[in-house]
Amino acid sequence: MRRDTFLKSLLATAAAGGLPLSAFAATNLKMMIPANPGGGWDGTGRALGKAILDAKAADTVQYENKGGAAGVIGLAQFVNSAKGDPNALMMTGAVMLGGIITGKPQVSLEAATPIARLTSEYNVFVVPAESPIKNMKDVVAMMQKDPGSVKWGGGSRGSTEHICASMLATKVNVDPKKVNYVAFRGGGEATAAILGNNVTVGGSGWSEFAEYIKAGKMRPIGVTSEKRLPGIDVPTLKEQGFDVVLGNWRGVYGAPGITPEQRKALTEIIVKASKSKSWEADLKANAWTPALLTGKEFDEFVDRDFSQLRGIMHLAGMV
């Protein structure tokens, strides 16, 4: 039987209910990572791709990086180019929600198809190893004396580290509009700026800075978690006297216009990948908190997070 005839027959049989959806699920996936190489989205996306292959949930995973505007540039390209493609995935998360809130782009995340939340990660703030700053109290003292003297480096405008810096300002009676925040297109650029002493304080997920902290090139001065992260001896902002707690989640969306059955197939791939040894190893290595959420629960979570972030950013003077 010719290959195309066989595939048509297989699809027809599956559509009629004779085969499970996974029997003809796409095996050649394309993943949009809406950030430059070297950052948290890039690391999570490639770890997910590796887990998908480890779980034998797909044959290949191809990656495309498109950084800028807190992921909104990549979102626009994904929505415009991948419509109806059941093989397409895009990384997303709290950072993109912040970028959408501040940037008000024409293309909305609602155009794409929610698949799953994957992880939650708290921000760690670091300084270059030779910096005289020892803790977050030193940073606050500088801000209170001259807000512009503290140059914060991190992801795009509206990122969780940007929100945290603004939240901290409001907690210590500093005008958040005077926060001197320098946005970078990806974690790699932000890391280079910190190592080059081009910013006072840098912020991102632990996974992005871990190797430089361990090598003694950066010094962590606080994390935005409620309690200290397991196995990481860094004080929270809260225990240093500043009530700033904010997590950063990352997840994955499918293309616009895919069918419920295609959404289900992609969800099954992600769930299977989340149970792989590869994924478990990356969760531990990067201090990511597993936070798998799919279906209606994920839809509702994104709606709530949009609302909560918009409220926080409004209070912080960012919108």
Share of the chain above pLDDT 70, in %: 91
> pLDDT class for 186, splitting at 50, 70, 90?
low
Residue pair 174/147 in contact by the 8 Å Cβ criterion: yes
> Is there a contact between 248 and 261 (Cβ–Cβ < 8 Å)?
no
Q: What is the pLDDT of residues 56-81, one digit of tens each?
A: 999 999 999 999 888 999 999 999 99
Interval 192-207: pLDDT, tens: 999 999 999 999 988 8
pLDDT band at 14 (very low <50, low <70, confident <90, very high): very low
pTM: predicted TM-score of the whole model, two decimal places: 0.78
d(CA 106, CA 100): 9
d(CA 190, CA 223): 17
